[in-house]
Structure 1
Amino acid sequence: MKIIVPMAGIGSRLRPHTLTIPKPLTVIAGKPIVQRLVEDIAGVVNQKIEEIAFIIGPIAKGFPSDTREKLLSIAEELGAKGSVYVQEEALGTAHAIQCAKDSLSGPCVVAFADTLFKADFTLDATADGAIWVKQVEDPSAFGVVKLKDGYITDFVEKPKEFVSDLAIIGIYYFKDGGKVKEEIQYLLDNDIKENGEYQLTNVLETLKEQGAKFIPGKVDVWMDCGKKDPTVDTNKKILEFEYEKGNNLVSENVVLEDANIIQPCYIGEDVVIRNAQVGPYVSIGKGSIIEDSEITNSLIQTNAHISNAKLDNAMIGNHAKYNGNYTSVSIGDYTELV
């Protein structure tokens, strides 16, 4: 099994945090978003992951020079070969996938690195394909699928009238990645676009017309990391999941001086907490210092220095300094607000 991860978008909705780090490498409860994504996929497919191929954007458009190294390390931790491709120009979902055409063969999962999920189903790898979906209250904002006898019959993009409440979350399984590659190449060769871009939905429709049967993979929880507030909420949910599983995410060498931690929390290595209360639902990256503060439901990255603060629903970047009275803040890397 292979996993293909298009992640070339710059993540402008999560700025300022994505000015220095691509969104999929933003750390949630101690792990980058993309690492949590591929780990969750590996659990659902229940097969050995042979290769993970990442499609990133060019360094000139905001991707740090060490991005490739970090992604290869994530693949290695899962015991898989890592491959990194570059999408030089944003020309749609199908175009992004085709950038990894050298890795697109055999059974594979295509997962766009914009979301995390939790599911308790096991993928039926004998199906021609599967599309991860989540029941939503307002389907008009999503692409949705229609079902009949357990199979997907239609793909409908942002329906104005109700046709289904099963929203496509951006994760797909294909039994034959080579066939997907052929159909994408047909789009490119014949310049078949939707709204100026080469879209994966066109490929899905073609495969369905050729007889491929797609099944839904229904997820229990769909977590968004597109903007600051949903990202902080996703951090909260991940901490809840880890705590319910009995996982302690507080490092052994945390220094506590007249301080208290209320679980669930993630506290990285070499964190110092003085005269402060942290938690619940707080993640603090390694090397950070928290002083004279009260922090709940917040996401703080590495080497931050927080003092005299009362934070809730806050997101603080790497190496940031914050000393103030604001509660719900969003501060990027190397920012000082003192």
Structure 2
Amino acid sequence: MKIIVPMAGMGKRMRPHTLTVPKPLIPIAGKPIVYRLVEDIAKVCPEPIEEVAFVVGSFGKEVEDRLIDVAASVGAKGSIYYQNEPLGTAHAVLCAEEALSGKVIVAFADTLFRADFTLDTGEEGIIWVQQVPDPSAFGVVTVNDQQIITGFVEKPKQHISDLAIIGIYYFKDGDNLRNELQYLVDHDVRRGTEYQLTDALENMKNKGVAFKTGQVTEWLDCGNKNATVATNRRYLDYLQHQDLVDSSAVVENSVIVPPVYVGAGAVLRNSVIGPHVSVGKGTRISQSVVVNSIIQENSLLRSVNLSNSMIGNFVEFQGNSSDLSIGDYALLRGSTD
């Protein structure tokens, strides 16, 4: 089994956090989004993961090395492919054409999920979906009585189906998928300026490939700050029975209201932290109250009152109370009165 993870997008909706790191490396409960994604796929996959192929932009060697480590964490080889132009989802997957053989899972790195099934690798294809109250903002599928997909509709203006495609797909024949993607490029089949994966899926369906739906129990978005903080909250709920405070963290005269993740070397003094807070390694927080927030690595917070906030790496922040989104290396100082 191979996993292909397209993640070359610029993550504009997550700025300023994506100005210095790609969105899939933003932490959720102490682990990068893409790590959580690969880990969760491995849990529902009954076969060993041979390779995880990451399709990236110009992220640099440090990011690429971290992605190789993500693959190694599930016992797989990691490989890096490049999408140098934003030419759509089909083009992004095709950029990893060398990995498109045998059984393949394609998982776009801006969504996480919870599921209680084991992937049936004997099916020709599976598209993972979730029921949504307003399908007009999503690509949806229609199905027959056997739950075989009969059609793909992008952002329907009228109610056709409430089964939204969450961005995770299984293909028994990766070579067939590669050929259909190549067909779109060779014949310049685009929607606007982009080659769309749903066009390849439609072609495969019309040629007899039976796609079934795989329904997840929860679909977790990481598209913007508020959604990412909410996803962090849900993951901490899932993990609350584990010890989430690193043994090297220092907690002095402070109250931790679980679930809270505290990374290695973090220091908490005279503060109330939680519930639903992730504190990255090396971060120091003093004389503060922090709830429902993500504080990344090596930051310094003093005399703050934060809720529903996301603070980047190497931030120095003092003396404010807000719902905030602060990127890396920022310096903010206000009154501490």
Distance in 2 (CA, whole Å) between partners of 1:258 and 1:45 is 44
Structure 1 residue 7: deviation in Å? 0.2
Q: Which moved more, 1:10-19 or 1:249-258?
A: 249-258
Question: How does 1:65-104 map onto structure 2 within 5 Å?
Answer: 65-104=61-100
Q: What is the TM-score normalised by the length of structure 2?
A: 0.97
Structure 1 residue 42: deviation in Å? 0.9
Contact 1:106/1:178, CA 8 A, preserved across alignment = yes
Q: AA paired with 2:46?
A: N
Q: Which residue among 285, 291, 305 is the counterpart of 2:286? A: 291
Structure 1 residue 255: deviation in Å? 1.0
Distance in 1 (CA, whole Å) between partners of 2:320 and 2:15 is 22
Contact 1:21/1:64, CA 8 A, preserved across alignment = no
Contact 1:144/1:168, CA 8 A, preserved across alignment = yes
Which position in structure 2 is the counterpart of 1:38?
38
Question: How does 1:166-177 map onto structure 2 within 5 Å?
Answer: 166-177=163-174
Q: Return closer, same or farther for 1:207/1:188 CA change in 2, 3 Å cut-off.
A: same
Question: How does 1:237-316 map onto structure 2 within 5 Å?
Answer: 237-243=234-240, 246-316=241-311
Distance in 1 (CA, whole Å) between partners of 2:69 and 2:250 is 29
Distance in 1 (CA, whole Å) between partners of 2:87 and 2:154 is 18
Which position in structure 1 is the counterpart of 2:232?
235
Structure 1 residue 225: deviation in Å? 0.8
Q: AA paired with 2:142?
A: K
Which position in structure 1 is the counterpart of 2:53?
53
Deviations 1:247-266 (A, max 9, x none): 11111122111111111010
Which position in structure 1 is the counterpart of 2:13?
13
Deviations 1:94-122 (A, max 9, x none): 10001100111000100000110001011
- Residue 224 in structure 1 maps to residue 204 in structure 2: no
Deviations 1:51-102 (A, max 9, x none): 00000012xxxx2441111101111111101100010101010100011001
Contact 1:313/1:328, CA 8 A, preserved across alignment = yes
SS at match of 1:249: coil
Structure 1 residue 335: deviation in Å? 0.3
Q: AA paired with 1:53?
A: A
Contact 1:20/1:64, CA 8 A, preserved across alignment = no
Structure 1 residue 324: deviation in Å? 2.1
Distance in 2 (CA, whole Å) between partners of 1:250 and 1:257 is 13
Q: AA paired with 1:185?
A: Q
Q: Which residue among 194, 202, 225 is the counterpart of 1:197? A: 194
Runs of 5+ unmatched residues, structure 1: none
Moved over 3 A (4+): none
Question: How does 1:114-129 map onto structure 2 within 5 Å?
Answer: 114-129=110-125
Structure 1 residue 218: deviation in Å? 0.2
Which position in structure 2 is the counterpart of 1:332?
327
Distance in 1 (CA, whole Å) between partners of 2:299 and 2:46 is 38
Distance in 1 (CA, whole Å) between partners of 2:288 and 2:123 is 53
Distance in 2 (CA, whole Å) between partners of 1:334 and 1:20 is 10
Distance in 1 (CA, whole Å) between partners of 2:319 and 2:221 is 29
Distance in 2 (CA, whole Å) between partners of 1:318 and 1:113 is 21
Distance in 2 (CA, whole Å) between partners of 1:21 and 1:219 is 29
Contact 1:299/1:314, CA 8 A, preserved across alignment = yes
Number of matched residues? Answer: 332
Distance in 2 (CA, whole Å) between partners of 1:320 and 1:30 is 17
Distance in 1 (CA, whole Å) between partners of 2:130 and 2:44 is 15
Which position in structure 1 is the counterpart of 2:204?
207
Q: AA paired with 1:137?
A: P
Deviations 1:143-199 (A, max 9, x none): 101111221111111111111100000100000001000111111111111122111
Which position in structure 2 is the counterpart of 1:161?
158
Structure 1 residue 240: deviation in Å? 0.3
Q: AA paired with 1:92?
A: G
Q: AA paired with 2:55?
A: I
Q: What is the TM-score normalised by the length of structure 1?
A: 0.97
Q: AA paired with 2:107?
A: A
SS at match of 2:321: coil
The alignment's C-alpha RMSD in Å is 0.8
Which position in structure 2 is the counterpart of 1:320?
315
Runs of 5+ unmatched residues, structure 2: none
Distance in 2 (CA, whole Å) between partners of 1:15 and 1:124 is 38
Structure 1 residue 325: deviation in Å? 2.0
Which position in structure 1 is the counterpart of 2:176?
179
Counting aligned pairs with the same residue, the percent is 55
